[in-house]
Structure 1
């Protein structure tokens, strides 16, 4: 197949990372794959004003930042400026895939010769992607592919029983792995540092501060693609933009991994930590409830650093045998999610989009149902 992905802009976000994985895997299967992207948009006046009021100054524009498509085998075409993508920007293809609510509207306007229209929908709630903006896009004449059952349920709540392909994320066992091990000599936990409010870094940091008062010599390892906005506590070692091999070592060096998101489409770090045999302490965001239901970690209350700190203390104080049992359960859960299986399902979703176009199934869409919540 000739496949075109339409992305808002290339960066180091988790959603773009998943798109890059599928693009490369489809390319390796013999498909002709192209990524078409707008450049990074300029900050709005509201965003600039907010930054200035917080004392952070004017937000500089930098479109030369790294992305998950750097050194990729899949070609990336970037427009000259941020604007809607039109017919002249994309080649004729078998399928064209929107990956963001704005790109869904762009793809819906493309000519049929640009390909059957699919919509890879991974999340909502990020800045610039609020629910009231994204719900109308679910009623566009695009075949939706989504990553989690809770998102599928949300689509059904607003739009009724429209066809959706469910493709859970997975983990790359060539990149993330670890041999069975014992607990660390000093209790060690890890977390992903993100500046977005929805990622709950503030919850993790408060929990770490509380846990440090009850867990002697608690060591913390953090990583992220952003520089911390404030100095981190002295017991936190921070890794800025680690490589995959470094990230694997970080996961495997921890007795527990903290997942503190308030909202999350999926939560890929949960799987990556678990396949590195690290139990996870998670808020009930994304797929955390279903991934932890087998006992590979502890699910904590949302917005509750005290509960998270108690979970940190619980895991750090487990006996060697009990910790290893939890570690084995985490690993056993994660190995059930492979990118090979996920790519099979994603590819099948693209064929469904093609079949629906050929059968005329993309008739004028139903109007989105108004939620009662």
Structure 2
């Protein structure tokens, strides 16, 4: 949860890492694994950001005493939306940041839906989320603020050396490897297997989420795989590919699409998150959901392009990122905050 001041100051309040429950401790003891230790401090997204933050000492309700008075208070998850709704008006106009439709199988759907009906101005990161807020919850004033990527972090290293990039000498596609079902790793692997029968020298590169997992043996022989790539290494993986496979079944937005495009790599993507909008301009190919064969056809299509045709698609992918900068995104976000303040002022005047 973050608290935004219009004087350009940001204050972030977050909860600590979850502690093992008593039931989890007993199960661990019964299985002979001993007493579970408290989770160690992990790296945070805010470690290198010059932003004041506070971690609440326990996983308890957040109260007015925990947060400063502000212009805007912005919850970023359905549970924090519940907590923000109980804060006094002094803590700021409430703005709900929708990064996904969070009625997942493992959360209480009714409570999630209730937060979507809260009288908070909504900011959606993708059109499909804005459509849900409008069509299913009757909110006709949703601000669409898509994220973008840092082109100082994601770029084609060859372009910085003034060496225009062309197709790979060996046809190569890439993917993010994870065992999380909704990421669709199985779809991408099946698509690669189908395409490889028609492109015998087709190569796969992948990076993962820090562990091999039970599906590691499914990676084709010869795959270049880094199970724990650093953020600085990601551009190297994207830039080795003629196409990047985005196979998610569900996404809030889908930042890997923009990360790959910023490196000049066309994307073959399922219609999850913002993929329909991002790929509409021709910087990749949108394929059918749950259809490895359609993704395999797209792999063949890109691999069969001439070098000139591939460079044109690559340039289109780059333009998709160049045409929407961090400045554009921050301007939209600031405009959304002002819209929220104006709506709150109108509501206050009516009462």
Using structure 1 for the length normalisation, give the TM-score. Answer: 0.81
Alpha-carbon distance change, 363 to 238 in structure 1, aligned in 2, over 3 angstroms:
farther
Q: Which moved more, 1:304-313 or 1:149-158?
A: 304-313
3-state secondary structure, aligned to 1:35: strand
Distance 2:287 2:337 in 1: 37
Q: Does 1:86 align with 2:73?
A: no
Alpha-carbon distance change, 90 to 149 in structure 1, aligned in 2, over 3 angstroms:
same
Distance 2:36 2:321 in 1: 39
| Aligned residue number for residue 320 of structure 1 | 307
Aligned partner (choices 227, 230, 235) of residue 248 of structure 1: 235
Q: Does 1:70 align with 2:47?
A: yes
| Aligned residue number for residue 358 of structure 1 | 345
Question: Residues 196-250 of structure 1: CA distance to partner in whole angstroms, max 9, x if unpaired?
Answer: 2211112112222332333222222212333131323332222244333311121
Within 5 A, what are the aligned runs for 1:144-293? Answer: 144-178=122-156, 179=159, 180-230=164-214, 231=216, 232-293=219-280
3-state secondary structure, aligned to 2:260: helix
| Aligned residue number for residue 80 of structure 2 | 103
Distance 1:323 1:61 in 2: 51
Instruction: Identify unmatched segments of 5+ residues in structure 1.
Output: 7-22, 49-57, 365-373
Aligned partner (choices 315, 323, 331) of residue 336 of structure 1: 323
- Does the 8 A contact of 2:18 with 2:39 survive in 1? no
- Does the 8 A contact of 1:124 with 1:265 survive in 2? yes
- Bigger Cα Rg: 2
Q: What is the CA-CA distance between 1:123 and the residue it aligns to?
A: 0.4
Distance 2:72 2:15 in 1: 19
Q: What is the CA-CA distance between 1:184 and the residue it aligns to?
A: 0.9
Question: Residues 237-296 of structure 1: CA distance to partner in whole angstroms, max 9, x if unpaired?
Answer: 222443333111211111100101101111111111112111100001111112112221
Q: Which moved more, 1:229-238 or 1:311-320?
A: 229-238
- Does the 8 A contact of 1:141 with 1:362 survive in 2? no
Distance 1:362 1:194 in 2: 51
Q: What is the CA-CA distance between 1:334 and the residue it aligns to?
A: 2.2
Q: What is the CA-CA distance between 1:45 and the residue it aligns to?
A: 9.9
Q: What is the CA-CA distance between 1:5 and the residue it aligns to?
A: 0.5
- Does the 8 A contact of 2:125 with 2:253 survive in 1? yes
Q: Does 1:299 align with 2:299?
A: no
| Aligned residue number for residue 142 of structure 1 | 120
Instruction: Identify unmatched segments of 5+ residues in structure 2.
Output: 26-34
Q: Which moved more, 1:157-166 or 1:36-45?
A: 36-45
Q: What is the CA-CA distance between 1:127 and the residue it aligns to?
A: 5.6
Distance 2:330 2:106 in 1: 28
Distance 1:279 1:47 in 2: 45
| Aligned residue number for residue 5 of structure 1 | 2
- Does the 8 A contact of 2:150 with 2:326 survive in 1? yes
Alpha-carbon distance change, 74 to 43 in structure 1, aligned in 2, over 3 angstroms:
same
Alpha-carbon distance change, 46 to 170 in structure 1, aligned in 2, over 3 angstroms:
farther
